[in-house]
Amino acid sequence: MLNSFFAFLYRLSGWKVIGTPPRATPKAIWVGAPHHSNWDLIISIGARATMRFNIGFFAKNELFTWYAAWFFKALGGYPVDRRRAGNLVDAVVDTFRQNETMHIAITPEGTRSDVGSLRSGFYYMALKAGVPLILVGFDYTRKAFVIREPLHLTGDIEKDMKHFCDFYLSIQTPPKTWLTTYQQTGKIPFQ
């Protein structure tokens, strides 16, 4: 019922999904960028409902207050303490290993603010878990949630991230500094 409501609002607002959801892929990490607005979550939930695809997401634990935790959990949210990132990669890898199917969304920029580099944890989560990355772009110019075919990682981070950055250069939304740096230098800016 809630999914139908979000799908209706998504279509009513003029947004669309461009690309094909990877239904044959049992496990994946969905990577959303550029992350500019709180609306990205609402757009993602609407796109997920429209695609009829079960995708959870990580969100800062500050959102999971005593009065709002039920709401974010009902939407598929998992709280993350961003100040304690030390063992997050291994925890996510273990979670993937314990589930036959699992799709989780991450924003590698970690914030809506402009950033000069990406957090690399998402890459190592996918690599260690042996799952592909599904790249999605929030294309506000076209009102489109753009999906790229699964990116299967090779372990060669420079090669893999070139595909990553090239995809995000195609998204018609103002790029953040990390992407501008890549465009000008060809170097992948990681923390």
Ordered per-residue pLDDT tens for the chain, 191 residues: 677 877 877 888 889 999 999 999 999 999 988 887 778 878 888 888 889 888 987 777 787 888 888 888 777 777 766 565 557 788 788 888 888 998 998 888 877 888 878 888 899 999 999 999 999 998 989 999 999 999 999 999 989 999 999 999 999 888 888 888 888 998 887 76
Task: Specify the pLDDT at position 82.
Answer: 57
- Domain range summary for the chain, segments of one domain joined by +: 2-149+161-185
Question: How many of the other CB atoms lie within 10 Å of CB of 42?
Answer: 16
What does residue 187 show for φ and ψ, rounded to 5 degrees?
A: -95, 140
How far, in Å, CA of 4 to CA of 16, rounded? 15
Task: Specify the pLDDT at position 1.
Answer: 63
Task: Specify the pLDDT at position 119.
Answer: 84
End-to-end distance of the chain based on CA atoms, in angstroms?
A: 41
Sheet with 16-18: strands ordered across: 16-18, 144-147, 133-139, 27-33, 102-106, 56-60, 77-80
Task: Specify the pLDDT at position 175.
Answer: 83
Q: To the nearest 5 percent, what fractions of the chain are helix, strand and coil?
A: 40, 20, 40
What's the pTM?
Answer: 0.85
Give Cα separations from 182 to 128, 136, 169, 186 (angstroms). Answer: 25, 18, 9, 5
Task: Specify the pLDDT at position 83.
Answer: 60
* 136 touches 35 (CB < 8 A): no
